[in-house]
Structure 1
């Protein structure tokens, strides 16, 4: 009897010390020479100089092989950049949640959720949160690839005011946040939306690289030869010539913010 009680107590102690299910071997993150899948839970927070009350999550950078950087900023009350910056890079900001104040040169713009802005190289900027509600902002930055055209001007906008353009297949739309076909721009940032069950008309393989942030819904992404289920807040990096294909699953529309480099000749 005493022996049985001891065994029972010992087993209970072992059970209490065990980790819950899913602590090992269940990870949606992936990093390959062609692509990366970054679920939000695994992207650790960090800080940057000259930022106050701001959590910084680097989604991709040249350290991954990308020619741009994409960062998620979580800006608390009275947080953001403590001084004006001018780093001679071009920048794109998209507000995922909350409200951000963006100074571009001498003008301050208030960007609500789904608002965005482009800041050309050589123009001073400062991003802040002047409200008591946290703001989440996607920040894309890269060196501008100059050609014999004037550098683009700064611009701001809101997703609700951007036309939805249908291409290739029914139930799939583009919203061009930067002017499509304007050769002065060396990048595009678009929102692609998908009705449930909608998919690419083909497996794409192209020279452009992508930074993709899931805004809504869920879907299956073919990257290289591997399938990955992606949903809201996931980030995906796709390198040049990575085979890629997406179809929307779930009951609601899926949409993602998509960066790509465009309008420039190949480099040798």
Structure 2
């Protein structure tokens, strides 16, 4: 039997509280789902954690993915972190390379597959859509490199809005936030929105509640409503993460 590396016993960066979770990729065990083939499923958060959404990392091998179309009444967001994936939305097929993304509204069928040789890593966010007196949004696809970078509040920090910001028909946003080394939030944020955060590149220090956590590429962070939060980028390269949040709806009683 091979010896385990130093630090494996009693040392890890994972944390779970009633307000947040930090999930290093190494500790998120693989799962399986019905009607998927040649796919490793890693559930990052779900209602079992207290979240009002689910976020899943799919690692899809050659000719793997969903074995048939699905229509579950939920809304879905897919982001291809690596490789290439084909996504059927209704009758249309979209090929999404790394940095590609898609929104699937409720009421449309979808099917995700990988016909390429390399493994496709796809971030999958899903949740019930909160209907109001506006039409349900249409399906959309895009590519990260084509999305404008918008500076807000401070220099050296940008947003890329993958879903239309300010469109009240959407009940969620998915953005990419990028940070030059040494840049940070202008304040410690506390707000009603919950977050699912996936580190795409780089590294940094995250203040969650009263605790500091070092995070880097492939880590996942869940932040519940009103959890104090603050980030600054460390290291020598740009840090960026994919950020889900719920928006544009009144409080629930």
Match 2:47 to one of 56, 62, 67: 62
Counterparts of residues 2-17 of structure 1 (less than 5 Å): none
- 1:103-153, CA deviations, whole angstroms, 9 ceiling, x for partnerless residues? 000000000000000000010000000111110000000000000000000
Q: In 2, distance between residues paired with 1:92 and 1:178?
A: 10
Match 2:174 to one of 177, 184, 189: 189
Match 1:42 to one of 2, 6, 27: 27
Moved over 6 A (4+): none
In structure 2, runs of 5+ residues without a counterpart are none
Q: In 1, distance between residues paired with 2:220 and 2:246?
A: 17
Q: Secondary structure at the match of 1:63?
A: helix
Counterparts of residues 1-268 of structure 1 (less than 5 Å): 19-268=4-253
Normalising by structure 1, report the TM-score: 0.93
- 1:19-70, CA deviations, whole angstroms, 9 ceiling, x for partnerless residues? 5421222110000000000000000001100000000000000000000000
In structure 1, runs of 5+ residues without a counterpart are 1-15
* Offset, 1:257: 0.1
Question: Measured at CA, do residues 169 and 85 of structure 1 come closer, stay the same or move farther in structure 2, by a change above 3 Å?
Answer: same
Q: In 1, distance between residues paired with 2:137 and 2:2?
A: 59
Q: CA RMSD in A?
A: 1.1
Normalising by structure 2, report the TM-score: 0.99
- 1:185-214, CA deviations, whole angstroms, 9 ceiling, x for partnerless residues? 000000000000000000000000000000
